[in-house]
A = this chain, B = another copy of it.
Amino acid sequence: MKVVVDAMGSDQSPVAQVEGVLQALDQFPSLQVILAGPADLLETQLKSRGRDVGDRLSILNSAEVILPEEEPVRAIRQRKGSSMVQGLRRLARGEAQAVVSAGNTGALLAGGLFIAGRIRGVRRPALATVLPTLDQNGTLFLDLGASVDSRADDLVQHALMGAVYAREILGRRIPRVGLLNVGTEDQKGNLLVRDAHVLLKELDRVDMEFVGNLEARDIFSGEHDVIVSEGFVGNVALKVIEGTAKTLMEMLRSEIGTSWRYKLGGLVLRPAVRGVYSRMDYTEYGGAPLLGLREIVIKCHGSSNGRAFFNGIRQALFMAERRVPERIASYLERGAACE
């Protein structure tokens, strides 16, 4: 199994990528990695670690870098020598089975569409992530903003794609799919969500179950294997989780600073608090798969550390092993034929 890791474009590039890659090569004997980035930089990094990974690691020299703030479509068109574009081309040519990147999200999406290509019949790909739940099983949440102004039938496709992921990667035999809404009653919501609700109810699949609307306060309840949201809303929801967790932790830190008793208690509890915070932390959940493409593309967070890249690579391996894109394609086709 060969995975391209884009070594550039993130906060801790390329140190975090190199760390994650070396960990993954240690853990998975069948893994081969193509590390894309400026060869001299990467070679220095690898040499300084003095690790021998034999012929399982190769470098794809690419001098250009796509910056986080660049306009995505233009960046993909103009920076053909970038690690991202070079990596995606390897993927498209079948020389690798997945790309893992923490670079510009819009560019990765645009590049995924133009270079790797969409699954036939997919209008809008979706970016998904696994949210932590109280029962520790996790819920697949999509779309995180790969699309905005989606249509109701896009949301239905996202539900189907999410169900395949939940089945193949999260091991849910008959995934329970919920629709994010402002209330649980069937007729609640805006025009888009009301339409999507009707279409999802009409779906007749034995291997997934549409369980109706859910409110945003229940996304961590563990009652759903897949939660479908329109992309703009999903993007806001994900960032609210991040902002709330960070704000609570900062408030707690400043509260603890106000008395020596608290400081003592804080010292004792620190590992517990860190443990909880890390459960809300993206680095533990690998990256966000871009579902609806013909190939496996995984977006890691821009501030990913080595651990996050390790998890992203592992996720890419599992998706390749379970042939997720192919299964999505056939699951969607089956839908088209049935309906």
Measured CB to CB, the residues of A under 8 A from B are: 69, 132, 134, 145, 148-149, 180, 182, 185, 189-191, 193, 215-220, 229, 232-233, 235-248, 250-252, 255-256, 258, 261-262, 264-269, 272-273, 275-277, 279-280
Contacts and interface: CB of A to CB of B under 8 A. Distances in A.
A261 B264 CA distance: 12
A219 B275 CA distance: 25
A248 B251 contact: no
A242 B237 CA distance: 12
A231 to B, nearest CB: 8
B217 A149 contact: no
A258 B269 CA distance: 11
A206 B245 CA distance: 36
A236 B269 contact: no
A269 to B, nearest CB: 4
A182 B235 contact: yes
23 contacts: A148-B182, A190-B232, A193-B232, A215-B239, A217-B239, A217-B246, A218-B243, A219-B243, A220-B244, A237-B240, A240-B240, A244-B245, A244-B280, A245-B248, A247-B280, A248-B276, A248-B277, A256-B269, A256-B272, A262-B269, A265-B265, A266-B272, A269-B269
A35 to B, nearest CB: 29
Nearest to A234: B236
A277 B255 CA distance: 11
B250 A275 contact: no
Contacts of A217: 239-240, 242-243, 246
Given A220-B244, A240-B219, A255 B280 contact: no
Contacts of A216: 235-240, 243
Q: Name A's interface SS.
A: helix
Contacts of A265: 264-269, 272
A272 B262 contact: yes
A262 B271 CA distance: 9
A276 B252 contact: yes
A256 B69 CA distance: 42
Nearest to A267: B265
B182 A145 contact: yes
A290 B269 CA distance: 42
A155 to B, nearest CB: 13
B262 A268 contact: yes
A140 to B, nearest CB: 16
A222 to B, nearest CB: 10
A299 to B, nearest CB: 14
A177 to B, nearest CB: 17
B189 A247 contact: no
A193 B244 CA distance: 23
Nearest to A190: B148
Given A132-B247, A217-B239, A248-B277, 20 more contacts: A69-B185, A182-B235, A216-B237, A216-B238, A217-B246, A220-B243, A232-B233, A236-B236, A244-B248, A244-B280, A248-B280, A252-B273, A255-B272, A255-B275, A261-B268, A264-B268, A265-B269, A266-B272, A268-B268, A269-B269
